[in-house]
Amino acid sequence: MAEKHSAAEDRAPSDQHGPRWGAVLQNTLLGLVILGMVWLVFNVKLPSIDELQESLGDWGSAAWIVFVALYAVVAVTPIPVTIMAVTAGILFGIVEGTVLSVIGALIGCWIAYWLARGLGTATVKRLLGRHAPTVEKQLENSGLSAVFVLRLMPGLPYWPVNYGSGAFGVSQRDYLIASGVATIPGQVSLVAIGAFIAAPSIAHAAVVIAAWLTVAVMTILALRRWRRSAKSRRD
């Protein structure tokens, strides 16, 4: 027994001071993700509306796929998706623009969610920076309702919610349901602005007003329900 105990003690320092390959891999991935995001933000210039229209025209029937893929890439990064949603309204109109925007946003959000799962909680906290405490506090133990409210809130970036949901234990089912439902009114409100810019009309203005009123009402109702739920859990 003494010999076994001694052997275990002899191995302990080696195990304790040896390389933690999981942490090394996560930190490496974090570095690559941050470098990739920084490169995209500072080096990738989103094309102008005229340039994008011309490029999409060259793609013909594949233009929808190209736009959705570009939207998904933007949704994975800190670049605001607002730009893409408004552009969708200018290029495709309200109906087609909304469909393409919702699909592109959800694909990008889903990719970011699983990317966060692979990076791990500690790594994502470093990635989120100043957003980390707020996102963790709101998402932890709240799941579907928290993601729903955060998705609806105007001005709140998509990317902290995407990565936070993957890192802080929101199930894929709750994440996709909340994102799918809450993304639609927000995207409609932004796409409608683009459609109004491209072709100002009373009809487009009415859609813009109705969409933003819907977002406001849904946000207030969801926020009240979320607070009641959080209060009942505390009690």
**Ordered DSSP codes for 99-135:** HHHHHHHHHHHHHHHHHHHHH-HHHHHHHHGGGHHHH
Distance CA 135, CA 132 (A): 5
Of 127 and 76, the structure prediction assigns the larger pLDDT to 76
Q: Is residue 73 part of a domain?
A: yes
* pLDDT of 18 over the 60 cut: no
Q: What is the pLDDT of residues 117-150, one digit of tens each?
A: 887 777 777 777 777 777 777 776 667 778 888 8
Q: Give every CB contact of residue 76 below 8 A, 6+ residues apart in sequence.
A: 108, 111, 112, 115, 159, 162
User: Which segments of 95-137 are extended strands (E)?
Assistant: none
Parent domain of 119? 26-234
Exposed/middle/buried for residue 175 (C-beta within 10 Å: 0-12, 13-18, 19+): buried
pLDDT at 69: 93
Question: How many domains does the chain fold into?
Answer: 1
Q: Is residue 107 part of a domain?
A: yes
Task: Specify whether the CB–CB gap between 122 and 206 falls below 8 A.
Answer: no
Q: Is residue 6 part of a domain?
A: no
Identity of the amino acid at 64: W
* pLDDT of 220 over the 60 cut: yes
3-class SS of residue 206: helix
Q: How high is the mean pLDDT of the chain?
A: 75
Q: Is residue 13 part of a domain?
A: no
Q: Is residue 12 part of a domain?
A: no
Q: What is the pLDDT of residues 180-189, one digit of tens each?
A: 988 998 899 8
Q: Is residue 20 part of a domain?
A: no
3-class SS of residue 209: helix
What predicted TM-score, i.e. pTM, was given to this entire model?
A: 0.70
Confidence of residue 16 (pLDDT cuts 50, 70, 90): very low
Distance CA 112, CA 118 (A): 10
